């Protein structure tokens, strides 16, 4: 992750996702320079990574809950 | 003394005069013990008849009135006892039915329903909680991967995939002219697969 995207690590899921949506919208305008679009792309990837990190954590928790529910039902 | 019966065994009107004597009449009237006058004779009734508590026609009649009939009394007592018995049995029977009615109510007959119903409700809620959480997770996962796809599609990534490269200085400024880099300056080449560090000649 580049220096510019270090703040992403501390973001909540919603913060990262909402900014990811903004990044996409900004890229969609098509009026950004190559340099800016490179930065946006890198930031977008970092934000998407953060979102997926949150989601896979949530998935693991759900699976753990499902497992313990099954074993307590037996 | 429970009762006083005034009686006599026959006699003329003269013989009865003593029962009309003022002293006797006053004594009878003031007497605290019940007095039955049984002198008889409707026509020439002595004055005690008027002040006595009860007037009987003959001594036999007086005795009958004063002493209750044993057979009749016994019958009354046994009837009363029977009624008391019936009442008590009826009362107890009513209470037995009342209690057994209460005990046969579903909530008391099977108190586990108190817990079972709630337990079922909780497990249903837990199930739908789990389903909801999973649905939300799936939706968010799809959204994020969609957004990542959009970022890539709109970024120079596709161009890089075709073999192009972007050269930047270490501050991230894109180099478009060779003179933008001095000899020996560190530069960063971004390829489709990642960054490559290099030094300008």
CA distance A39 to A23: 10
Quote the strand ranges of B34-150, DSSP E. Answer: 35-38, 54-55
Select the residue of B141, B154, B172 nearest A27 (Cβ to Cβ). B154
DSSP single-letter state for residue B177: S
Which chain A residues touch B151 with a CB distance below 8 Å?
Answer: 20, 23-24, 27, 40-41, 44-45, 48
Q: Which residues of chain B does A34 touch, with a Cβ-Cβ cutoff of 8 Å? A: 156, 166, 174
Check CB contact of B151 with chain A, cutoff 8 Å. Answer: yes
Token duo for residue B10? 């026959």
Q: Is the minimum CB–CB distance between B152 and chain A shorter than 8 Å?
A: yes
On chain A, the residues whose CB falls within 8 A of the CB of B145 are 48, 52
Whether B172 sits inside 8 A of A35 (CB atoms) is yes
Alpha-carbon B73 to chain mean position:
48
The H-assigned helical ranges of A1-74 are 13-28, 34-73
Please provide the average confidence, as pLDDT, over all residues in chain B: 86
**Cβ–Cβ contact A9 with B under 8 A:** no
Q: What is the residue whose two structure tokens read 């970022």?
A: B151
- Banded model confidence at residue B83, pLDDT cuts 50, 70, 90: very high
* Average pLDDT over every residue of B81-87: 94
Question: Which residue on chain B is closest to A32 by alpha carbon?
Answer: B155
- Whether B167 has a pLDDT exceeding 80, the answer reads yes
A40/A4 Cα distance (integer angstroms): 10
B166 touches chain A (CB under 8 A): yes
Please tell me the predicted confidence (pLDDT) of residue B73: 87
Task: Give the ipTM.
Answer: 0.74
| Beta carbons of B155 and A33 less than 8 Å apart | no
Of A58-62, B60-64, B77-81, B192-196, give the range with the top mean pLDDT.
Answer: B77-81
Read off the pLDDT of each residue in A42-63 and give the average, rounded to a whole number. Answer: 90
Q: Is the pLDDT of residue B117 over 60?
A: yes
Contacts of B134 in chain A (CB under 8 A): 62
Q: Answer whether B173 touches A (CB < 8 Å).
A: yes
A60 touches chain B (CB under 8 A): no
pLDDT at A1 over 60: no
- Single out the residue of B97, B119, B130 nearest to residue A65, CA to CA: B130
B125-163: pLDDT as tens digits? 888 888 888 899 999 999 999 999 999 888 888 888 889
**B143 contacts chain A (CB < 8 A):** yes
Mean pLDDT, residues B7-23 taken together = 76
Q: Is A1 an 8 Å CB contact of chain B?
A: no
Q: Which residues of A touch B174 (CB under 8 A)?
A: 33-35, 38
By CA distance, what is A16's nearest residue in B? Answer: B144
If one counts every other C-beta atom within 10 angstroms of the C-beta of residue B42, the result is 7
- Our measurement of the distance from residue A7's CA atom to the centroid of its chain's CA atoms, rounded to an integer in Å, reads 12
- Give CA–CA dist A25/B139, Å, rounded: 20
Residue B43: is its pLDDT beyond 70?
no
**B34-54 average pLDDT score:** 79
């Amino acid at each position: 992750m580049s220096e510019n995207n270090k703040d992403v690590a501390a973001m909540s899921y919603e913060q990262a996702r909402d900014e990811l949506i903004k990044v996409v919208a900004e890229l969609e305008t098509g009026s950004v320079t190559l340099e800016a679009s490179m930065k946006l792309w890198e930031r977008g990837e970092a934000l998407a990574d953060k979102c997926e990190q949150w989601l896979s954590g949530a998935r693991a928790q759900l699976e753990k809950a499902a497992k313990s529910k099954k074993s307590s039902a037996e | 003394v429970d009762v006083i019966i005034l009686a006599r065994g026959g006699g003329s009107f003269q013989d009865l005069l003593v029962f009309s004597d003022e002293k006797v009449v006053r004594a009878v009237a003031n007497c605290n013990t019940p007095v039955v006058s049984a002198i008889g004779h409707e026509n020439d009734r002595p004055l005690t008849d008027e002040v006595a508590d009860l007037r009987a026609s003959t001594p036999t009649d007086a005795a009958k009135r004063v002493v209750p009939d044993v057979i009749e009394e016994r019958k009354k007592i046994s009837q009363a006892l029977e009624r008391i018995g019936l009442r008590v049995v009826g009362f107890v029977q009513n209470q037995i039915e009342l209690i057994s009615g209460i005990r046969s109510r579903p909530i008391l007959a099977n108190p586990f329903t108190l817990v079972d119903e709630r337990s079922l409700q909780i497990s249903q809620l837990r199930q739908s909680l789990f389903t909801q959480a999973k649905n939300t997770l799936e939706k968010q996962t799809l959204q994020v991967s969609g957004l990542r796809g959009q970022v890539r599609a709109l970024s120079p990534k596709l161009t890089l995939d075709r073999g192009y490269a972007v050269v930047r200085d270490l501050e991230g400024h894109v180099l478009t002219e060779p003179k933008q880099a001095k000899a020996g300056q560190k530069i960063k080449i971004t390829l489709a697969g990642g960054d490559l560090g290099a030094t300008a000649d």
